[in-house]
Amino acid sequence: MKADKWICGLCSGETLEKDQICVKCRKGHTTVEGNTSKSWVKERVEKNG
């Protein structure tokens, strides 16, 4: 089983696990291979301040 690569939808920084906050920009969340919905990420950031 290969390890998936999780990419931030906002800054494209890599994170360790799916849906974790990006370690680079601390705002964006990730899905596999960078397929994060920009609008979904934006909503999450606005809700969580």
pLDDT in tens, 1-49: 455 667 777 777 777 676 677 777 777 666 554 444 454 555 555 555 4
d(CA 34, CA 48): 21
Residues 38 and 31: their CA atoms lie apart, in Å, by: 11
Per the CB < 8 A criterion, the answer to whether 32 and 6 are in contact is yes
Q: What are phi and psi of 6, to 5 degrees?
A: -100, 130
User: In this structure, are residues 9 and 31 in contact, taking their beta carbons and an 8 Å threshold?
Assistant: yes
Domain residue spans of the chain? 6-48
Handedness of CA 25, 28, 32, 37 (dihedral sign): negative
Reported pTM: 0.38
